[in-house]
Structure formats: C-alpha cells, structure tokens
Chains A and B, each alone.
Chain A
Amino acid sequence: MTDWFSGEWPWYVAGPLIGLFVPALLITGNKVFGISSNLRHLCSAIIPGRVEFFRYDWRKAGLWNLVFLGGVLIGGFLASHVGTAHDIAISGETKIALSRLGIHDFSGVAPRELFNWSALLTLRGFVSVVVGGFLVGFGTAYAGGCTSGHAISGLASFELPSLIAVFGFFAGGLTATYLILPFLLRGI
C-alpha cells in the first residue's frame, strides 16, 4: 500500500480531501474547521493574564479543537514514518531561484540550512523561525483565522471578511517572498 501513500498525492486528490474536513467537523459536532484559534485557546489555558481576549472557558470553546490539533501532530509523525522519504519535487525554476538565494539542501520538507536549532543563532534562521512564528500568531489572531478558517471554511461560506483576509495572506506572502527573503537568505 505504501507506493501510492508515499508518492506525491496529486492536487485533485489532496485538495478535496482537505476540503472534506469542513463537513466532517460540522456533521460530527457542529464545529467550524479552523486551526489558528487553538493558539488563542493555548494562551487562554496557559497564560491568560489579565487580558480580556483570553478570559473565557477555553475547555468549552476549544478542547475539541486542541484534541484535533494533537491529532495533526501525531498524523504528521505517522505520515513521515510510512514509506520512503523523497525530496519535494518542486519545479526546476523554483529550485534555481532558491539556489541563487543560497539554499543548497533540497532534501526534507523544509530547508535544513534554515530550520534547525543551531540556525536559530543566525539572522536568517532566527527571522524564519522566531519572527515568522510571531507574525503567524499575531496575524492569525488579528485576522481571526488562517488558511483553514478563512481561506477554506470562510470562502466556502462566501464570507467577504475571509476574502479580504485571503488577499492579505497573499499580499504579505508576496512581500516576504520578493522583498524580504532575497536579502535575508543571501545573508545581507
């Protein structure tokens, strides 16, 4: 069975499978698919402080979602331990563009040169992991959702706020790709 499993799933298989999590969660318990609210639930559970945004019953609102998130971590572990590992088959153009920026190791899911503990002490590693992570947490909380909550759940319900958010996702993503990463990765 591992042949089809460990190969690259075509987009028209992967996309609909991801989309099916919206009705699966609605039908199971009237839950709205969205990952980033878990960051808020975790803040509420661990360090609510005196911040109104974190003063609510996180167990009632989000325990189901935190359990789901724990599953995502386990699923990532299982999927990466079945079948043979292979490089991500990105387009040749992207490979050339990234090589010019100083990315040489194309094995694994993320460039090992940037995403390892010792790279945190370099500017590019620190910005990629720590600054990037902070912006993910701040931005999704401000926007009230991420790729799952806005792009998939929100757009599936034809929500205008989600469309604005998704335009923002790409505005930010393109800015980082064309105006930040070229300088950051070359080590300027």
Chain B
Amino acid sequence: MTTTSLPAIEASGTSGSEHHQGHPGFFLVYLLLGIAFGIVLTRSEVVSWFRVQEMFHFQSFRMYGIIGSAIATAAASVALIKVAKLRAISGETIAIPRKQLGSGVRYAAGGTIFGLGWALTGACPGPLFALIGNGVSVMIAAVLSALAGTWVYGWLRPRLPH
C-alpha cells in the first residue's frame, strides 16, 4: 500500500483560520475549560477503574447514562449551533470537519484495540491525565506507554489497512 491511498492527515481538532492562536486570553480559556473537565471527570467517577469494570459487566446503568446523556447534550447543542448559524467568539464560522469512512477498517480495528486498553487501564485518554492529578502517579507510566503506542502507530501507518 502506498501512502497516497491513506486518508489525508488532517490537522485534528481545528479548522478554519488560526488568527487568534497567539492570543494569550484564548489559552487561559482553554486552560480553565480543561480544569473544569478534569473536575467533572473526577467527580463523575468516570476516571475510576471500578466504574469502568462495572460498566463492562453491565451491572450499573450509571456509565451508560453518563455517556448517553453527554452525547444527547452535545448533539442538541451542535444542532442548535447549526440552526442558529453561530460564529465562534474568535470570529470564525463554526464548521465541524466530516470524518472519512474509507473502508472503515481503521475505526473497527483501532476502536477494538483502544477498547482493550480502556478495560485494562480502566481509563481513556482524558482520565489517564486526570488520574495523574488524582495522585495515581503510576499513570505517568501509562501515558508514556500510550505515547509509545501512538508513535508505533504513526510509524506503521503506511503498512496498516485503513
């Protein structure tokens, strides 16, 4: 497989112009939002290995309720933003880039591999970092290992089916 058959490497998480990037005020906003997210992840207990195990054992509705109502809230908000044609405070038009389906292999295979790691560590990427803040310092090793995993994916990328 040649690299040209791979999906485009999109600059994830951003679209449109970057004219506000240098503005320190915006970074303060992202820092505060991140702090709020870390607090919510911790207090909702989704950072907990025990909660993740309870979810995968189907022994509580809690995690499904959290994820389901998070999706519903996000979907309603996105629909509202589209209908109202809102602009970002930074001045940009809000545009969410579509994901490319391709053969779908990357989503099925990558998703399954991540799922294995999610159950083993009891944490997805956000909680991995929130857990370090929670004092579970060994998660530093999990993050370093996750960086190694991401790096190995990048290296193998031209040879993997997408």
Chain A residues in the interface with B (C-beta under 8 A): 5-6, 8-9, 11-40, 42-43, 46-47, 49, 51-54, 56-57, 59-65, 67-80, 88, 90-91, 93-94, 97-98, 106, 108-111, 114-117, 119-120, 127-144, 146-162, 164-177, 180-181
Contact = CB atoms under 8 A, between A and B. Distances in A.
Interface in B50-89: 50-54, 56-57, 59-63, 65-75, 77-78, 80-81, 86, 88-89
A30 B94 contact: yes
B111 A150 contact: yes
B27 A156 contact: no
A176 B116 contact: yes
A124 B138 CA distance: 14
A57 B21 CA distance: 13
Contacts of A5: 43
Contacts, number: 550
Q: Is the contact region of chain A dominated by helix, strand, or loop, or is it mixed? A: helix
Given A72-B37, A159-B98, A168 B151 contact: no
A97 to B, nearest CB: 6
Nearest to A87: B50
10 contacts: A15-B69, A17-B40, A42-B150, A64-B21, A73-B130, A108-B136, A119-B138, A142-B114, A164-B111, A177-B57
A14 to B, nearest CB: 3
B29 interface: yes
Q: Which of B78, B109, B153 has the most CB of A within 10 A?
A: B153
A110 B122 contact: yes
Contacts of A161: 99-101, 104, 107
Contacts of B151: 43, 47, 49, 51, 54, 137
Given A20-B77, A79-B42, 12 more contacts: A14-B66, A27-B86, A53-B9, A56-B11, A77-B38, A90-B50, A90-B54, A109-B48, A114-B49, A162-B99, A175-B119, A176-B115
B101 A160 contact: yes
Which 3 A-B pairs have CB atoms at the shortest separation, nearest pair first?
A71-B34, A75-B38, A168-B111
Interface in B1-53: 3, 9, 11-16, 18, 20-21, 26-27, 29-53
A116 to B, nearest CB: 6
Contacts of A25: 33
Contact of A76 (B20, B72, B89, B129): B129
Given A15-B65, A147-B67, A152-B74, A136 B146 contact: yes
B47 A64 contact: no
Nearest to A5: B43
B123 to A, nearest CB: 8
Contact of A133 (B56, B75, B113, B117): B117
